Amino acid sequence: MHKQLLAGLRVWITRPLEQSEPLQSALQALGAECTVVPMTIIENKPLTEEEASLLRSLTRVDALIFTSRNAVLHSQVYWPTLISLCDDATYIFALGEGTKQQLQDAGISSVIIPEGQFNSETLLNRPELQQVKSHQIVIVSGEGGRDQLEQILRQRQANPLKLAVYRRQCPPGPQQKLENVEVVVLTSGEGLTNFFQMYGVQHLQKLPLVVISDRMAALARRHGFEGVVIQATHATTDSIVKAIIQWKERVSNDGRT
């Protein structure tokens, strides 16, 4: 049996419903009481006419970049086209471990991920993305979001094409009353913003928040949150669970002193 390191801890998980199960199971195995309260809804998004036309115009690609699990899941209808553009020299990148695993589950074995934090900055530090003049690079992503990958690759004189294959929507209103919760896990900037807008940052100051990057921690502060921010090193289940355990141990130690 697992040691009940988080026995009785009441946790809200704000990931989309279809992606919450691994984290929920891991926390429950340690004794936590989890409630899934999605702060984003993921919807399929067809390519625009311009995106589809640009994709049809390609004859090969030097690299494919998948920015999230959702990018993998919602692009599969286009995989026959994308795979036909690849050859043995094509690099396939994923922005994190979960995205890499999703690609491998779909049969793509050779996937490159960033070293260190899983974000655009560290991916752009990869040696394969330094000398990319005239390279055709397809970025499979969601609607909106950060454009840093595309911008930096253009500065490096590559020819990036962003395909937005899904969109994030805010849920239609609070799904749960803000009670019986001791810590909230937030894994995207959109989810964090939706959470603050839905419940009001002024009501959340005493509620510890788990985030997955420096960028999200800074975003919470910009929204006016002055409470405890627990920062996981990555968006992986193991990293989030580890961060919560370490925070719980600190709280327990402080209570004994």
Give the per-residue pLDDT at 1: 41
* Fold designation for 10-40+172-256: Rossmann fold (3.40.50)
| Average pLDDT estimate for 217-243 | 95
Q: Which helix (H) or strand (E) holds 77?
A: none
Question: What pLDDT band is residue 217 in, cutting at 50, 70 and 90?
Answer: very high
| Average pLDDT estimate for 210-235 | 95
Strand ranges (E), the chain: 10-13, 33-36, 41-44, 63-66, 91-94, 136-142, 159-169, 183-185, 209-211, 229-231
How far, CA to CA in Å, does 27 sit from each of 30, 83, 124, 238? 5, 37, 33, 10
Give the per-residue pLDDT at 117: 77
| Average pLDDT estimate for 98-126 | 90
118, pLDDT greater than 60:
yes
C-alpha dihedral sign at 66, 70, 72, 77: negative
Question: What pLDDT band is residue 125 in, cutting at 50, 70 and 90?
Answer: very high
Higher-pLDDT residue of 178, 184: 184
Selected from 3.20.20.110, 3.40.630.10, 2.40.50.140, 3.40.50.10090, the CATH number assigned to the domain covering 43-168 reads 3.40.50.10090
Give the per-residue pLDDT at 2: 54
pTM, two decimals, is 0.83
Instruction: Kindly report, residue by residue over 17-41, the tens digit of the pLDDT.
Output: 888 999 999 999 999 999 999 999 9
Q: Which of 126, 5, 134 is nearest to 60 (CA)?
A: 134
144, pLDDT greater than 60:
yes
Domain boundaries, the chain: 10-40+172-256, 43-168
Question: What pLDDT band is residue 100 in, cutting at 50, 70 and 90?
Answer: very high
Given a contact cutoff of 8 angstroms between Cβ atoms, the answer to whether 65 and 137 are in contact is: yes
| Average pLDDT estimate for 86-101 | 93
Give the per-residue pLDDT at 194: 95
The two domains 10-40+172-256 and 43-168 share their CATH topology (first three levels equal): yes
User: How big is the CA angle at 161 (ends 50 and 146), to the nearest 5 degrees?
Assistant: 105
Give the per-residue pLDDT at 96: 87
How far, CA to CA in Å, does 190 sit from each of 55, 60, 88, 144, 207? 28, 33, 36, 10, 19
Give the per-residue pLDDT at 3: 72
| Average pLDDT estimate for 203-208 | 95
Given a contact cutoff of 8 angstroms between Cβ atoms, the answer to whether 205 and 68 are in contact is: no
In the predicted model, what is the mean pLDDT of the chain? 93
To the nearest whole percent, how much of the chain has pLDDT over 90? 81
* Cβ atoms within 10 Å, residue 41: 15
| Average pLDDT estimate for 145-161 | 92
